[in-house]
């Protein structure tokens, strides 16, 4: 019987070239797939919830995998987790309905951006790879005023960098919270999905408001222009972290009869030798036979 597993993990993105598999590059997807292949003893196809960029971190990243293995979830978590590099931690593994999709089933995501806002560098706290250093004082009231027009359903083309391959740029931002924690300014942005580098471009624009370079009153005009050149610079990747992804598992659609039939017909792996599994070519996600759509939109 084919099972659908939802995996939650955290990782330090400093030494990774993002989530998505890239030949010759160290990625989170590649590292997790290697660990799972050795645990499950079959080739795997991981589907991630988001295509995080090089250097971006995650505290609650979600990935999905289909497997005919009969191993218990806790055994998979411990076995695969022990095989991961030190900058990835597998936090949870749970079986979910066959219709669960790590990208399309998400209801909302929360990204947090951390800014070290002090004259001195963030070396004393050893946070230099986790925060963006802005030495000039940031006025968070001006930043909040600038962020207010972005909440709601809008076309965010002004914050979509080159390389954005979405069919449309309309997204919903549920909330933007800007606050101080010691010497840090933190920006929490929750939305139903995000465009390529959207959060980093929004943060770069908010910093222009906070530094007093731009008036917050032009924020609505920047959004309405639907022109990337009207917004601010792109903030560095190191300050960004995917905090969590929310799903409504209770209300997922029921699997179709054809999907159930294919799942029941899938036999558990015979248990190949690890050397044989290691020699198999790297998989590319998405690519699971159980999915009912052949073409999947790339994760945000």
According to DSSP, the residues that pair with 8 across neighbouring strands are 62, 92
Only one residue has tokens 């993002």, namely: 18
- Please indicate whether residue 227 is annotated as part of the active site: no
Structure tokens at 175: 């909330």
The whole-number pLDDT of residue 271 equals: 63
The whole-number pLDDT of residue 292 equals: 39
Question: Can you give the three-state secondary structure of 106-173, one letter per residue?
Answer: EEEEEEEEEEECCCCCCCCCCCCCCCEECCCCCCHHHHHHHHHHHCEEEECHHHCCCCCCCCCCEEEE
Query: What CATH number does residue 38 fall under?
Result: 3.30.70.580
Q: Are residues 113 and 234 in the same domain?
A: yes
The whole-number pLDDT of residue 129 equals: 86
Q: Are residues 115 and 238 in the same domain?
A: yes
Q: Are residues 267 and 171 in the same domain?
A: no
Note whether residue 267 is domain-resident.
yes
Task: Count the alpha carbons within 13 Å of 40 in the hemisphere toward its beta carbon.
Answer: 27
Catalytic residue among 12, 53, 87, 289: 53
Structure tokens at 165: 């391959």
Structure tokens at 123: 């070396």
Q: What stretches in the chain show pLDDT beneath 70? A: 163-166, 271-300
Q: Are residues 171 and 239 in the same domain?
A: yes
């Amino acid at each position: 019987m084919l099972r659908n597993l939802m995996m939650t993990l955290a990782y330090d993105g400093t030494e990774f070239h993002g989530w998505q598999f890239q030949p010759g590059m160290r990625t989170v997807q590649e590292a997790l797939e290697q660990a799972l292949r050795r645990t499950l003893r079959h080739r795997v196809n991981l589907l991630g919830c988001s295509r995080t960029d090089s250097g971006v971190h995650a505290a609650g990243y979600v990935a999905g995998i289909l497997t005919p293995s009969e191993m218990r979830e806790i055994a998979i978590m411990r076995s695969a987790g022990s095989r991961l590099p030190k900058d990835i931690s597998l936090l949870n593994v749970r079986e979910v309905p066959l219709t669960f999709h790590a990208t399309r089933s998400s209801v909302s995501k929360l990204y947090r951006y951390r800014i070290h806002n002090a004259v001195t560098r963030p070396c004393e706290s050893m946070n230099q790879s986790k925060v963006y250093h802005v030495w000039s004082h940031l006025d968070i009231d001006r930043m909040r005023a600038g962020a207010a027009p972005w909440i709601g359903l809008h076309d965010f083309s002004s914050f979509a960098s080159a390389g954005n391959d979405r069919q449309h740029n309309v997204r919903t931002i549920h909330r933007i919270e800007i606050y101080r924690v010691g010497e840090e300014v933190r920006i929490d942005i929750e939305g139903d999905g995000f465009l390529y580098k959207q959060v980093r471009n929004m943060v770069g624009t908010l910093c222009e408001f906070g530094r007093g370079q731009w008036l917050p009153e032009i924020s609505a005009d920047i959004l309405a222009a639907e022109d990337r050149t009207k917004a601010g610079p792109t903030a560095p990747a190191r300050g960004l972290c995917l905090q969590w992804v929310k799903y409504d598992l209770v209300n997922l659609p029921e699997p179709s009869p054809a999907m159930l039939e294919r799942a029941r017909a899938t036999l558990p792996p015979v248990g190949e030798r690890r050397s044989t599994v290691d020699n198999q070519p790297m998989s590319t996600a998405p690519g699971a036979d159980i999915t009912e759509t052949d073409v999947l939109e790339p994760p945000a």
